[in-house]
Amino acid sequence: MKKRIYIIGIVVLLLLAAAATVGYLAYSAILAPIVKGEQTVYIQIHPEYDTQQVAEVLSSSATIESMAGFAPLMKHYKYDERVKPGNYAIRPGDSMRDICLRLLSGNQTPVRLVIPSVRTLDRLAGAVGKQLMTDSAAIAAILTDQHLIDSLGYTAETFPTLFLPNTYEVYWTMSPEQFIARMKKEHDTFWNTERKKKAQAQGLTPIEVTTLASIVDEETNKNDEKPLVAGLYLNRLKRGMLLQADPTVKFAHGKFDLRRILLAHLTIDSPYNTYKYAGLPPGPIRIPSIAAIESVLNPAKHSYIYMCAKEDFSGYHNFASTLGQHNANARRYQQALNQRGIK
């Protein structure tokens, strides 16, 4: 009898040990920390992904001790039927349960969307498409949607003034429509009462300020020089002079890499040719920087109406109030171009 009780006791102990082992393994697979390293990594889940594809993305992106519990847990929650696309953080010390619940809940982390200062909306579409789930073709399509452009009060030429180069927190799953709505919100916030009053003081609308700012940006990449350049063009506008801005001629030709504007270039019949047509062009020649916009709203006060690149090729300019001074500056620059063989 004692022997029988002893055997039963041994069996019970073995069963308890087995249960403990199973429990430990289950804990290790699901509840124990499995993400190693010190840096949070981010994975992008597309709507067409299934459990296997998500597992592959996880394995290739993060240092995970074991993926053993992932497939059973996701199968239990029927993940393949309820995939939530997004940008998800995988943090050091996360358990398999942490990861699974985050993916199942759709608790994604915003991304930093950078809107660059670019020359064309095609380039903007390409830049945005690389940062969001939607592709550049979908962004390009909405940027050329004339019905949408009309509904927002723009023309095809002025539509680029909607966009402000900056970094924005958005969800990676943002749709093209949501992208435009967010840009409209940021634009309206930027153009507050104070800035509108400053634009009015210069005799310009916000669209005209942005258009002039695009010329300023093309003329100089030196932020400390932008107010000087803005003041120069405002002086010319107020005097009724042709702007004669070389960057507008480059835009008219679609040749942004022109180093030297010749007389032949100035004959192009385009509303963007400010050597031929008075006033501002019909729209911006690039999406200007905020620094350039602020320079038009807060220009330097001076009497300059001419500018020419410095002959030292520093990126800065020589400014002049008279044609004689300007011609002297221009001769020095032309000589420097000739010496370097730039045509």
76 and 142: one domain?
Answer: no
Q: How far is CA 45 from CA 42, 64, 107, 143, 169, in A?
A: 10, 17, 12, 26, 18
- The CA distances from residue 276 to 244, 263, 273, 330, in Å, are 8, 12, 6, 20
> Could you give the CA distance from residue 300 to residue 323 in angstroms, rounded to a whole number?
20
Residues 216 and 252 in one domain: yes
In terms of domains, do 82 and 115 share one?
Answer: no
How many domains does the chain divide into?
A: 3
Which residue, 52, 87, 109, sits at the end of a domain?
Answer: 109
Domain boundary among 136, 170, 190: 190
Q: What are the pLDDT digits (tens) for 313-329?
A: 999 999 999 999 999 99
Question: Beta strands 317-320 and 86-90: pairing type?
Answer: unpaired
What local confidence, expressed as pLDDT, does residue 2 receive? Answer: 53
Is 231 found in the same domain as 215? yes
The CATH number that applies at residue 53 is 3.30.1490.480
Does residue 156 share a domain with residue 209?
A: no
Query: What is the domain extent for residue 42?
Result: 32-109
> Does residue 279 share a domain with residue 207?
yes
Residue 322 lies in a domain: no
pLDDT score at 342: 79
Domain boundary among the residues 60, 80, 109 is at 109
Whole-number pLDDT of residue 63: 84
Examine the domain organization and report whether 226 and 290 are in the same domain: yes
The answer to whether position 296 is within a domain reads yes
Q: How many CB atoms neighbour CB 109 within 10 A?
A: 16
Phi, psi (rounded to 5 degrees) for 70: -65, -55
Range 156-159, long-range pairs (CB < 8 A, 24+ positions): 156/283, 157/281, 157/282, 157/283, 158/207, 158/211, 158/282, 158/283, 158/284, 159/121, 159/283
- Domain match, 210 and 284 both: yes
pLDDT value for 16: 39
The answer to the question of residue 332 being in a domain is no
Beta bridge pairs of residue 112: 169
Residue found under tokens 């890499």: 257
pTM beyond 0.75: yes
Question: Are residues 143 and 174 both part of a single domain?
Answer: yes
pLDDT at 24: 42
Note whether residue 48 is domain-resident.
Answer: yes
Residues in the chain with pLDDT < 50? 6, 9-27
